[in-house]
Structure 1
Amino acid sequence: MSQFSESQRQRAEQNRLKALEIRKQKLAALGTSGTPPCTPGPPKSTATSLNFIPSPPNPTSRTSSTSAVPQGGVGATKFYTSSSLSGGNHSTLGSSKTQPTTHPGDFGVSGPPTKNPRIEAPKTTSTLPPGVLKKIEENKRKAQERQEALRRAREQGSNVPQVFTAPKGITQPTSKPSSSTSDAKNINPVASKFTTHVTVSFVLSSINTFRASTTMYHAATIQVFKTMTSRSYDYNKKIWTFQISEHRKLVAALRPLHPEVEVQPLPQFVLTAVEAAAKKVPADYIDLFGLDSRLLDALMPFQTEGVKFGISLGGRVMLADDMGLGKTIQALGIACHYRSEWPLLVVTPSSMRYSWEESILRWVSSVSGQDVQVMSTGGDKFREAKVVVTTYDLLSRKAELMLHHNFGVVIFDESHMIKSYKSARYKAAAPLMKKLKRVIMLTGTPAMSRPLELYTQISGIDPSLFPHFHDFGVRYCEGRKETWGWTFRGSSNTEELQIILQSCVLIRRLKSEVLSQLPPKQRMTVVLDPGLIKNKKIFEGMGHKIQSLSRVESGDCLQMFAKTAEMKANAVREYLKEVLESDKKFLVFAHHVVMLSTICSLCEETKTKYIRIDGNTSAEERMARTSKFQNQDEVKVAVLSITAANTGLTLTAAQLVIFAELYWNPGILVQAEDRAHRIGQEDSVMVQYLVARTTADDHIWPLIQNKLEVLGKVGLSNDQLNEAKTSYQKCAAEPDIRDFLHNTDKQESPRKSAASSDIRSFLKPQNQEENSDPNWNA
């Protein structure tokens, strides 16, 4: 039985004839003659003839369901019925068994070629799944919306290319694009809801202004900026600046541009800080009348500004001046303004306890020795004292006792020691800072490496400034959310943070900023911790022996001098440990081998690079080591002998000079100081003398002062070593070294003036070695 019925064979024949007719028309249109390429196929049916001329198709035949759609271009011979396109019966005439094929002899083209007609495939009804059709229509709609959005953006003036990249799923047209759509790359996504938004972020540029920055140019945003009355544009930096009073107005004006424009306004805590700063009493309006007269006279102009600033903040302030600018006297000035709220608590590193006691007694005339209590051990009990000086370690051990005492004012010296909220120091200090009304912090390095370290100190002074650590960390510590949580190890918006802190919390001046108000060389005496001094009873009753001797170089005095070096060694070691943490270069002078060796061993233990110059160092080696200290940043310490290194060296890489021991001749001390304070020094020099009580130091200093006073009386103060002005160096601000001793009143001469506190003003060098120094006159 035949595979196809008679009607099917007839329809197939009609389709074949129609295809031949179309083929002939194409050949005629191309004006070609010859044999077109053919597709090999099965043998021809016997029912067809090679010279068969097709007749017009029968209009009454059912061709709608069997219309042939050509696939490919000219020369194609394969046809499919519409039923195969619509997903119907797939066993059509296109199968390998029954598909009609053409051969070279099937075409009998004769006569002139006809006019090229438009050849179109018959239209068919699509029967694709509804989901596919819906997706196609949705993609078309999105494409139209994109075109309309780009057209609107071009009308507004945005620099938008004429062509966009079609979303995934939309087929690009195969026809040649017009000139307006010649480039489909580098599409600017302005005003397109399918691309990246424009982000406008605000950040403070001063306490009264803020600046706006955008991720890209956006015409509508710029037009909004121009509507602000306080607008200001920097053409060089390309930055828009506005008054803080128009912040809310600008945010509201940009809101209609959402979602094309995303606005990142100033956080609420920043606006609150700005409002608080505006309500603060200006420091210039603060009157220091009634402050202790001795302390007031000792303040330098910039120190007076610091005291007024602290009072304007209500006594809750951080003094963050550079080292050597007198934070101690400023803190006492602020504390004395609130004298009615005392007792005063001073929390300090252990090595600075007795220096604070000396400073209080020297500058606050209304406080006597009985009014100051220095806590040395955990067993010390409170007595009725106006001032209590303790350490961070003792504060941690006696936190409850400190908290329930009736303190009204607290000073935290080196407040960076409570930077970690996990430390016992901070946990003991936090309740005190929350309870007391006046909190004064002192530090030359508020943050060692990251803004994160500032938070505990800031929150202790003003908890309302940054109420939530997370907000602070995200904005200023480059907070990022990682796999295991948030990290705040970086820094961001540091200029804004600095503006807020300097307006609401701290004051910081560098030496370079106030150098005109500073003497070129400042001195201070550091009283070492008595608890670290060994065998203090050896010197009891021996003071009269030194004073009764005509020559201090006698055997007994030299023996006491040598013994003092051994007794002070441990205390000096502990003090220098804290100095090394500052990571700054400094010179340290000593006289005895035991002291020099102790300092060198400390540097080796802490892995600090240093140089040593003493009597055993050759001239060539002195020059090499000096060059090493001057030129290599990693070399932090120069350990020097007072007698061997007081001349012939230039060590201006350091601004700090420390004397671990004293010496009989004041001229030698001045010459040693000037190893750093000489031509080439670009900063003020701080000189520190480490003095131990109940040792030979108590007797050596008065003898040195007597020598200086004698030289001053005979007019030998006109030496050329003093290049610096001394008018600012008042006897209370940067006093004569006798003022640091317990018996200074008996030793001071009534003829000594306030401007003569610099040791060199009394002195002409005892020898002429300084004049022969080739580096001095260079």
Structure 2
Amino acid sequence: MARRGQPQTRARRSGPTDRRRGRDRARERDRGPEDVISVAARAVREVEAALRNGRATSTTRAKFQVVALLLRDERARIRAEEGSTEAHRNEQLKRLDGIATILAKTAVRDADLMALLAEDAVVSPEAKALKREMLRDAGLETAPEEAPPVERPTAAAENGVVPQSVISRKLANPFLAPDFSAVRQSAPPRSTRLATWELIGPLLSSFERAGTGASTSMALPPPSARSAPGGRELMPHQAELIAAAAAGHRTFLLADEPGLGKTAQALLAAGAANAYPLLVVVPNVVKTNWAREAAIWTPNRAATVIHGNGDSIDGFADIVVVNYEVLDRHVGWLGDFGFRGMVVDEAHFIKNKSSQRSQHVLELSERIRSFTARPLLMALTGTPLINDIEDFRAIWQFLGWIDETKPLAELMHALDETGLTPADPGFYAAARQCVVDQGIVRRRKVDVAADIPARRIADLPVELDGATGRSIRAAERDLARRLVSRYQDALAARSSGPVGDGIDHELVARVVRRELKEAATSTTSGENVFGMMRRIGRAKAGLAADYAAQLARSAGKVVFFAKHVDVMDAAEETFAKQGVRFSSIRGDQTSTARQKNIDAFVEDPDVAVAVCSLTAAGVGLNLQVASNIVLAELSWTAAEQTQAIDRSHRIGQTEPVTAWRIIAAQTIDARIAELIDSKAGLAAQALDGSEEEVGSSTDVQHDALVALLTEALSAG
């Protein structure tokens, strides 16, 4: 009976199902092409069911990708369809959104599925075949597949990536697109009076012809407020620029000298203009500092930094920081992100318009200006405008003041309002003022000396990337583990017994004293704190030298301090490669050679940097010809640091002195910097001129290791 009934049962299960499927497909064909949506809905449910039963197979992934492709194509078709009512179109789009929501929730379960939603995801042969089959199920004829045309890929296409978190941002709604509603208004007709004149050359020439007393800055409104987030107070010159942004000005060539807070001004201007999301393009050496400054000045706006392929970025951040060196990998998705503001730091980096990075920056600027009516565009540079004015052609183009051949609408209108042509004697002065009024802002230290401390320390955190950075962080973990092991051994051997669950701070101090004693006599097994600091110094050398070279180009002579000879050697090699002339002042020089190198730095205008030993050149030098100092390595005491700064901050110095302290983020280097400051009362990062010694080098070394061990014990 069971055997006779079993075939009948199978017949009852399969026959009606086949007939239902046939009827369903017939109905779908009868309803026409719009029922691609029905086919996609059935497919996405099948994918959802398959994933509930286990990991996605290749067939499941292909079906998932086909659904995404069908939704994308169908959405475009519905929007472009003529003759359809608005109600019908909205109903179809609503159905698509329902399927898209299921697709997004499904993709969250498998990262491989997320990647298939990217615009540039490779469509597998299996997916292509399945798509044709599903379109036939929907009653649509498919054209035979054609071989794609062979194109030579550009460098950006070859290297292009889309970070996973950017894909995740899209998955919040797979069809979420940037808001392009505030499109740029049509430009007014160009002046017929100036239409036949070549104007770019005369505009550039107008800066070279400027006489003494010519304006270097646009007129800025008085500040409406000086307060900033976190109870901070802006300096008057900073508050003026923020007021201009709040009043509606949207393009700035901010050329303040280094040390006058251009980063803070740019971040706060973005807030005043509500220019979010904001893209910030910077040199590698300062990208970590931009994220740090964003947390200080705009704490309610999340900032993310792109390293390498962007695997660690936050795709939902309001501020995206990317360095020039990796911009080519990301220019594709950045152009579609919907930025409403863009800041280019050290903007003279784009002066060569034929370079790839210049082309990428200009492409992104044009993209932003094409879909945003009045974006905030800021070019930051400390380079004096009177030098090599031809270099600023690319910056003016980035800001939207000119294109390849002519001034754009706003600048052209301003030139027309002068009533002059290049044939008139007064044209050049008037034209220069027209450009300045577009948004050039230039203040020198000496101009705002009353606003800033006579001498101050500015920390510049840098990321140690690559194998070197990983090695240093691994060595720090090894040091912490060795200290923990010694602590645990000492705790187990103590006769008085354990102290409970807490940390025995007296025992911690004893372990640290032993470590320092062995490190000083080179008997420590493994990495010690002195060796680690030297390795960190070597790792920072190139970055510190690169920043010093930027300062030298922007603000004149720079004093570069390092502790170790190999760090000085590495820095000098960087300067030589960049064509920056330098003098070397070391402890192993004769007095004659030393004085010759000092004189060269002080007297020769072409010698831009003095590379000095922190210990050998920290006293007895008069280097007040420079107002910018780079501290490539940390000293162990605030007094040693102050002595180095005093080589420039002394009688004869006419400008405020800024010491730029290069600190390796996420290493013991940062911890030591905090300890030096706390012992010297420098929490505000400003020197008060006190010569009081408040702690020895041993104190800092001891406290740094105590903090390292205590943190490791707490985490363990």
Measured against the shorter chain, the TM-score band is 0.5 to 0.7
Residues 616-673 of structure 1: per-residue CA shift (max 9 Å, x gap): 1233443333223212222222111111111111011111111110011110110110
Contact kept in structure 2, 1:416 and 1:447, CA below 8 Å: no
Which runs of no fewer than 5 residues in structure 1 stay unpaired? 1-247, 252-263, 271-280, 477-487, 713-730, 737-756, 768-778
Which runs of no fewer than 5 residues in structure 2 stay unpaired? 1-190, 204-217, 416-421, 485-507, 520-527, 697-716
Q: Distance in 2 between matches of 1:625 and 1:417?
A: 30
Q: Distance in 2 between matches of 1:605 and 1:589?
A: 19
Q: In the alignment, what sits opposite 1:121?
A: none
Q: Distance in 2 between matches of 1:389 and 1:454?
A: 23
Aligned counterpart in structure 1 of residue 251 of structure 2, from 316, 332, 347: 316
Q: Distance in 1 between matches of 2:239 and 2:555?
A: 29
> In 2 relative to 1, CA 493–585 (structure 1 residues): closer, same or farther, beyond 3 Å?
farther
- 1:458 equivalent to 2:396? Answer yes
Tell me the CA shift for residue 418 of structure 1: 2.5
Residues 457-490 of structure 1: per-residue CA shift (max 9 Å, x gap): 22432447998159999x99xxxxxxxxxxx9xx
Tell me the CA shift for residue 765 of structure 1: 7.9
Tell me the CA shift for residue 581 of structure 1: 4.3
Q: Distance in 1 between matches of 2:540 and 2:695?
A: 28
- 1:538 equivalent to 2:475? Answer yes
Contact kept in structure 2, 1:708 and 1:762, CA below 8 Å: no
Contact kept in structure 2, 1:591 and 1:643, CA below 8 Å: yes
Higher relative contact order (CA 8 A, sep 6+): 2
Residue 316 of structure 2: SS of its match in structure 1? coil
After the TM superposition, which residues 278-289 of structure 1 pair with which residues of structure 2 at under 5 Å, given as runs? 283-284=220-221, 287=224
Tell me the CA shift for residue 604 of structure 1: 3.5
Aligned counterpart in structure 2 of residue 649 of structure 1, from 589, 610, 621: 621
Q: In the alignment, what sits opposite 1:176?
A: none
- 1:350 equivalent to 2:279? Answer no
Residue 417 of structure 1: SS of its match in structure 2? helix
Contact kept in structure 1, 2:256 and 2:442, CA below 8 Å: yes
> In 2 relative to 1, CA 430–621 (structure 1 residues): closer, same or farther, beyond 3 Å?
closer
Residues 540-581 of structure 1: per-residue CA shift (max 9 Å, x gap): 264595984359954132232223223333433444454454
> In 2 relative to 1, CA 327–492 (structure 1 residues): closer, same or farther, beyond 3 Å?
farther
Q: Distance in 2 between matches of 1:396 and 1:283?
A: 36
Residue 398 of structure 1: SS of its match in structure 2? helix
**One-letter code aligned to 1:495:** A
Could you list the structure 1 runs, at least 4 aligned residues long, displaced by more than 6 angstroms after superposition.
464-467, 470-473
Contact kept in structure 2, 1:589 and 1:639, CA below 8 Å: yes
Residue 608 of structure 2: SS of its match in structure 1? strand
Residues 691-712 of structure 1: per-residue CA shift (max 9 Å, x gap): 1124331232233134224xx9
Q: In the alignment, what sits opposite 1:601?
A: 573
Residue 502 of structure 1: SS of its match in structure 2? helix
Q: In the alignment, what sits opposite 1:149?
A: none
- 1:337 equivalent to 2:272? Answer yes
Q: In the alignment, what sits opposite 2:586?
A: 614
Contact kept in structure 1, 2:258 and 2:551, CA below 8 Å: no
> In 2 relative to 1, CA 494–426 (structure 1 residues): closer, same or farther, beyond 3 Å?
farther
After the TM superposition, which residues 87-106 of structure 1 pair with which residues of structure 2 at under 5 Å, given as runs? none
Q: Distance in 2 between matches of 1:619 and 1:553?
A: 35
Contact kept in structure 2, 1:343 and 1:386, CA below 8 Å: yes
Residue 256 of structure 2: SS of its match in structure 1? coil
Q: In the alignment, what sits opposite 1:372?
A: 303
> In 2 relative to 1, CA 294–604 (structure 1 residues): closer, same or farther, beyond 3 Å?
same
Largest Rg, 1 or 2? 1
- 1:626 equivalent to 2:598? Answer yes
TM-score w.r.t. structure 1 length? 0.50
- 1:395 equivalent to 2:331? Answer no
Residue 446 of structure 2: SS of its match in structure 1? coil
RMSD: 3.9
Contact kept in structure 1, 2:680 and 2:694, CA below 8 Å: no
Q: In the alignment, what sits opposite 1:515?
A: 449
Residues 283-323 of structure 1: per-residue CA shift (max 9 Å, x gap): 5377459x85337x331011111221233343322212122
> In 2 relative to 1, CA 301–418 (structure 1 residues): closer, same or farther, beyond 3 Å?
same
Q: Distance in 2 between matches of 1:561 and 1:600?
A: 20
Residues 734-767 of structure 1: per-residue CA shift (max 9 Å, x gap): x42xxxxxxxxxxxxxxxxxxxx42645844889
> In 2 relative to 1, CA 635–450 (structure 1 residues): closer, same or farther, beyond 3 Å?
closer
Contact kept in structure 2, 1:282 and 1:312, CA below 8 Å: no
> In 2 relative to 1, CA 538–523 (structure 1 residues): closer, same or farther, beyond 3 Å?
same
> In 2 relative to 1, CA 553–644 (structure 1 residues): closer, same or farther, beyond 3 Å?
farther
Q: Distance in 2 between matches of 1:285 and 1:695?
A: 42
> In 2 relative to 1, CA 516–382 (structure 1 residues): closer, same or farther, beyond 3 Å?
closer
Aligned counterpart in structure 2 of residue 660 of structure 1, from 622, 632, 638: 632
Residue 512 of structure 1: SS of its match in structure 2? helix
Residues 679-738 of structure 1: per-residue CA shift (max 9 Å, x gap): 0111121210111124331232233134224xx9xxxxxxxxxxxxxxxxxx7xxx42xx
Contact kept in structure 2, 1:462 and 1:505, CA below 8 Å: no
Q: Distance in 1 between matches of 2:480 and 2:547?
A: 26
**Fraction of identical pairs, as percent:** 24
Residues 62-118 of structure 1: per-residue CA shift (max 9 Å, x gap): xxxxxxxxxxxxxxxxxxxxxxxxxxxxxxxxxxxxxxxxxxxxxxxxxxxxxxxxx
Contact kept in structure 1, 2:559 and 2:609, CA below 8 Å: yes
Tell me the CA shift for residue 429 of structure 1: 2.4
Residues 153-172 of structure 1: per-residue CA shift (max 9 Å, x gap): xxxxxxxxxxxxxxxxxxxx
> In 2 relative to 1, CA 510–706 (structure 1 residues): closer, same or farther, beyond 3 Å?
closer
> In 2 relative to 1, CA 552–455 (structure 1 residues): closer, same or farther, beyond 3 Å?
farther
Tell me the CA shift for residue 590 of structure 1: 0.7
After the TM superposition, which residues 13-28 of structure 1 pair with which residues of structure 2 at under 5 Å, given as runs? none
Q: Distance in 1 between matches of 2:477 and 2:386?
A: 44
